[in-house]
Chains A and B, each alone.
Chain A
Amino acid sequence: MCPASCLDPQSSFLIHRSSIQLITLSHVSKRYPGGRQALNDVGFTIETGELAFITGHSGAGKSTLLKLLVGIEWPTAGSIIVNGQNVGTLQARAVPFLRRKFGLIFQDHKLLFDRSAFGNVALPLEISGFGAKDGARRVRAALDKVGLLKHEKAMPITLSGGEQQRLCIARAIVHRPAILLADEPTGNLDADYATEIGELFRSFNQVGVTVIVATHDQALLTRLKPRVITLRNGALAEAA
């Protein structure tokens, strides 16, 4: 059901490195039921190991674009190839395995408040059937990476906004995905926290993870100097 590469992220890394074009969109359009045209003939390629920002005013189609990548929404036209797979024609039961290739970071964190920080970060490993002992090691490593190791037993509700966002990041990286996908990760944070988060993204990118961030945080842009893909009214404005 699941190729060996998605069980062992370490080896899948190497595969991704060799296949340069990680994500390819061509002529992608998305019209929502009701008639709103969210994306119109969008096409670009993101290569393995890139740090790419998708920017644009709100309503420009950033969120829709991310949703299309992980199979939450489906394009009405065009094709989206992720790691050689056409997301648009994926069967429903293959979608969970597509999503496991990504680490997802949300503006509203989407943490589970009925379990500890540790429990939240362990979730992706539970889902992919990781052994408890090996899993615990990885969870602590991920928590350590975002500086929350001493809060592993804390319930998410007791953490600050910035800490909750970092917890969300720990959950996104614990299964060592090839692609990190962040939707307005600094939207609710003040400048200091936003800087921290930006540094985290830079460090992940430095070890070879492809990082895609949808944001309109100009400060983050100037600090990280990523490749920028700008959307305007659902169409590509410029692809630097």
Chain B
Amino acid sequence: MKTWLAQHGRCFSTTLVKLARTPLGSVFNIIVIGIALSLPVGLYVLIDNLQAASGQLSAEPQISAYMALDASRTETAQIETRLKQSPRVQRYRLVLRDQALQELKQSSGLADVIDSLPQNPLPDAFVISAKNNTPQALEALRDEIAQWPRVVHAQLDAAWARRLDATLRFGRLVVLILGGLLALALVAVTFNTIRLQVLTQRDEVEVIKLIGATDAFIRRPFLYYGALQGAAGGLVAWLIVGAGIWVVNRNLGELSHVYAALFQLKQLTPGDAGALLLLPLALGWFGAWLSVGRHLRLIEP
């Protein structure tokens, strides 16, 4: 066990030395991997933030419920009690018919026309926000409210929510496809790098095979190299995305001043950042494993 650890430790340090010995080649490889990875990660951050922000925007989906024109005050009050007690309702606003008429008069500039009406054409209405804003939950709540007594019509302003949801889902699909493709690219890049390394170190591999090195021993430095290169690429991707978010946030700061709304991109969570290091590490290891297994077989003393 101690021997094993010592061998791995030594291998790790010689791999670092190897990376450092060809700085330009290593750096370019790592940058290529980093940029490739930063694309899906950047998109992921954007979508994640859009989703978080969509909850904050005032265009939150709402249900409008209209009472019958001849509903009495008591009947309206009964509905109000129900809304107050419903666990699925976040908050609601009651717009009484007289109040609604006043608002219409003030905002529409149709005061004369409205004054000439023989009676108030507007019903009492509730504007309701749900606790759960998924389209399914909103629709269920709307259907429930529509069946309450004296509620004539319940309307869900859901098209917007649906559209956003669909867009975000599409975005996530794009991230997944892009991520999958670039993961493949990472494996391919590592495969090629290791292939070149094995071939340039052909003599060395031959010699250590001759003096009794096991395949695992020969394979180990190449696997380390692939894994380290992948992880370094992940680190670069993290730096690129982090810097991108920082720059965007600085500019958004001015924008949100103008619009008096706070819109800031969040940085990657530690969990995401960890995945961004470990996943390329595993992929790099895998690419190196494929490559070294294939090419070592060709080298026999």
Which positions in A face B, CB cutoff 8 Å?
70, 72, 93, 96-100, 102, 104, 110-112, 114, 123-124, 126-132, 171
Contact = CB atoms under 8 A, between A and B. Distances in A.
Interface stretch (B169-177, B210-218, B260-268): B210-218
B300 to A, nearest CB: 8
Given A129-B6, A131-B6, A132-B6, A99 B212 contact: yes
Contacts of B204: 112, 114
> Closest 9 CB pairs between A and B?
A99-B212, A129-B3, A100-B212, A96-B214, A127-B213, A96-B212, A110-B207, A124-B211, A72-B301
B10 interface: yes
B54 interface: no
A127 B217 contact: yes
A124 B214 contact: no
Contacts of A131: 3, 6
Given A112-B204, A112-B207, A129 B213 contact: no
Nearest to B204: A112
Interface string B2-29: 0110110010000000000000000000
A233 to B, nearest CB: 25
Contacts, number: 55
A130 B206 CA distance: 21
Contacts of B213: 96, 127
Nearest to B207: A110
Contacts of B7: 126, 129
Given A112-B207, A114-B204, A126-B10, A97 B212 contact: yes
Contacts of B209: 96
Given A96-B213, A97-B212, A124-B212, A129 B4 contact: yes
A127 B206 CA distance: 13
B199 interface: no
Given A112-B204, A127-B217, A99 B4 contact: no
Interface in B193-224: 203-204, 206-215, 217
A129 B5 CA distance: 10
26 contacts: A72-B210, A96-B209, A96-B215, A97-B212, A99-B210, A99-B211, A99-B212, A100-B211, A110-B203, A110-B206, A110-B210, A123-B208, A123-B211, A124-B211, A127-B211, A127-B212, A128-B212, A129-B3, A129-B4, A129-B6, A129-B7, A131-B3, A131-B6, A132-B6, A132-B10, A171-B211
The main secondary structure of chain A at its interface with chain B is mixed
Contacts of A72: 210, 300-301
Most-contacted residue by chain A among B7, B208, B211, B300 (CB, 10 A): B211
Nearest to A130: B3
Given A124-B211, A124-B212, 7 more contacts: A93-B215, A110-B203, A123-B208, A126-B10, A127-B214, A129-B6, A171-B211
Nearest to A124: B211
A211 B206 CA distance: 23
Contact of B211 (A104, A129, A132): A104
Contacts of B206: 110
B237 to A, nearest CB: 31
Nearest to B201: A114
Contacts of B217: 96, 127
B268 to A, nearest CB: 39
A104 B10 CA distance: 24
Interface in B264-301: 300-301
A112 to B, nearest CB: 5
B187 to A, nearest CB: 27
Nearest to A103: B211
Contacts of A132: 6, 10
A130 B3 CA distance: 7
Contacts of A126: 7, 10
Contacts of A129: 3-4, 6-7
A79 B262 CA distance: 83
A73 to B, nearest CB: 10
A195 B81 CA distance: 111
Most-contacted residue by chain B among A93, A126, A131, A132 (CB, 10 A): A126
A173 to B, nearest CB: 12
A100 B208 CA distance: 11
A127 B210 contact: no
A35 B301 CA distance: 20
